[in-house]
């Protein structure tokens, strides 16, 4: 969707996982207005958590009035036609299942490291990606060093 007055494209996000990493992403989206000259802006329109902790849901809905969908079923979020990109903030052992489902649904994916929990999971995710509709993947890598 484009805001005609500002010629800014709105990109709609769904967030799966409402814990710390989901909040970090949501907070970054909220600070987007501080980046000058951007012709795109993120908007969170859907959130998902298996247990839907009331305090977490309230934090999201209080801070992001653009949220129209709150669900405990990630498959409902990825079916949402209003969601362009899915930010997936789930435990590492769930990456393979969730990432493959998001890619198969034709959604763009932003995920956390490790992409897959092991080589087999990485190969499966890669295989789904290579033979699916054109989507973009973003895997956040953080470099660490031993002190």
Q: What is the pLDDT of residues 49-94, one digit of tens each?
A: 999 999 999 999 999 999 999 999 999 999 999 999 999 999 999 9
Contact 106, 132 (CB under 8 A): yes
Q: Is the dihedral of CA 113, 119, 121, 122 positive or negative?
A: positive
- This prediction's pTM: 0.85
Residues whose CB falls within 8 Å of the CB of residue 20, separated by 6 or more in sequence, listed in order: none
Bridge-based pairing of strands 2-3 and 40-48 is unpaired
- Return the residue matching tokens 């990630």: 74
What fold characterizes domain 2-140?
Rossmann fold (3.40.50)
Q: What is the pLDDT of residues 84-137, one digit of tens each?
A: 999 999 999 999 999 999 999 999 999 887 778 899 998 998 888 888 766 665
Residue 124 to residue 79: CA distance in whole angstroms: 21
Residue 142: CB atoms within 10 A of its CB come to: 6
Residue 111 to residue 141: CA distance in whole angstroms: 10
Distances (CA, A) of 120 to 83, 123, 127: 29, 5, 10
């Amino acid at each position: 969707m484009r805001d005609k007055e500002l010629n800014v494209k709105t990109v709609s996000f769904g967030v799966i996982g409402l814990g710390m990493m989901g909040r970090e992403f949501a907070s970054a989206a909220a600070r987007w207005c501080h980046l000058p000259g951007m012709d795109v802006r993120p908007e969170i329109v859907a959130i998902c958590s298996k247990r839907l902790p009331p305090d977490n849901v309230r934090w999201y809905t209080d801070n992001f009035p653009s949220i129209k969908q709150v669900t405990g079923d990630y498959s409902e979020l990825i079916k949402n036609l209003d969601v362009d990109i899915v930010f997936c903030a789930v435990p590492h052992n769930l990456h393979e299942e969730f990432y493959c489902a998001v890619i198969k649904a034709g959604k763009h994916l932003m995920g956390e490291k490790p992409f897959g929990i092991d080589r087999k999971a990485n190969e499966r995710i890669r295989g789904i990606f290579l033979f699916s509709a054109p989507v973009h993947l973003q895997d956040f890598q953080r470099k660490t060093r031993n002190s």
